[in-house]
Amino acid sequence: MMAKANRRDRTRPAELLGLSAVLALFTGLVVFMATRELDLALIFTGVAFIVALVVLAMLALAVQTSDEEKSDLAEQDRNDEKRNLGH
């Protein structure tokens, strides 16, 4: 039986997309202000979005959870299961 993902796990992709979008918009704005060429700014925005998304996703995968975090997650899962028994 698969464990249900908690809210933090479900919103993680949205956080990565949002941060990547902010970094991409910043890059596009800097390029546009420097060159005044909209086409070039849009290209840099797209490239920056993809690069930021890949880098942030790889960093998220590289994070190792400690034993303390694993026990805390297991405890939260047990508490969630206890709360959902009555529904």
Angle (deg, nearest 10), helices 7-35 and 38-62:
150
Asked if pLDDT for residue 86 goes beyond 60, the answer is: no
User: What pLDDT digit, counting tens, does each position of 9-28 carry?
Assistant: 667 888 999 999 999 999 99
For the chain, count helices (H), then strands (E): 3, 0
Asked if residue 4 belongs to a domain, the reply is no
Q: How far is Cα 50 from Cα 31, in angstroms, rounded to an integer? A: 16
User: What pLDDT digit, counting tens, does each position of 18-73 carry?
Assistant: 999 999 999 999 999 999 999 999 999 999 999 999 999 999 888 877 788 878 87
The 10 Å Cβ neighbour count of residue 53 is 18
Range of the domain at 53: 13-80
> What is the total count of domains within the chain?
1
Q: What does the pLDDT read at residue 20?
A: 97
Residue type, 60: A
pTM of the model: 0.67
Asked if residue 8 belongs to a domain, the reply is no
- How many alpha carbons fall within 13 Å on the CB side of residue 61? 6
Asked if residue 49 belongs to a domain, the reply is yes
